[in-house]
Amino acid sequence: MQTYIVDVGYLQEEDAFDVNHLLPNWLPSSNIFLERSASQAKVGVTGSLSQEDFNLWLSDLARSLPPHTGVSLDLLLTESNGVAYVNYRLVDRITNINPPIEADNPGFLNYALTWFRSRRPKVRIYATEGLFWMEGV
């Protein structure tokens, strides 16, 4: 069983639970290009998307996975001209993944990415059905 060093520092913020909402699972995007890109993503694929589009892409990627399968991605979180960007590399697909107890709900993803961008912009994210968690790199 894999051990994760999960960083949930963003949950210590005063407004963390006020501005986020629980989701039963990842929501599908309405962007067919993001959905197709996510469903065809292979280990090693890299890209750069606005944070908003990355959230949708990751959601579509997690929804495309078989049950009990997860993915890990290395992220570099940046901002340019007031727009947040996520540079990503799909590191692995993990079968029979066992999420840690600290795994979080997809409704917190955008908040977490924003928090990490200003504090620790290089992170590894894991996503599986209905959950994500992050580790500093």
The tally of domains found in the chain comes to 1
Q: What is the pTM of this model?
A: 0.93
* DSSP conformational letter for 39: H
Please tell me the distance from the alpha carbon of residue 70 to that of residue 79, in angstroms, as a whole number: 27
C-alpha closest to that of 10 among 2, 19, 1: 19
Is 1 within a domain? no
11 vs 104, more confident: 104
Tens of pLDDT along 57-72?
A: 999 999 999 999 999 9
Is 51 within a domain? yes
Is 3 within a domain? no
Is 111 within a domain? yes
Confidence of residue 1 (pLDDT cuts 50, 70, 90): low
Is 78 within a domain? yes
Confidence of residue 84 (pLDDT cuts 50, 70, 90): very high
Q: Can you give the pLDDT at residue 17?
A: 75
User: Containing domain of residue 59, as a range?
Assistant: 9-136
Is 106 within a domain? yes
Contact, 124 vs 137, CB < 8 A? yes
Q: Can you give the pLDDT at residue 59?
A: 97
Tens of pLDDT along 2-40?
A: 889 898 889 888 777 777 777 878 999 999 999 999 999
Please tell me the distance from the alpha carbon of residue 74 to that of residue 112, in angstroms, as a whole number: 15
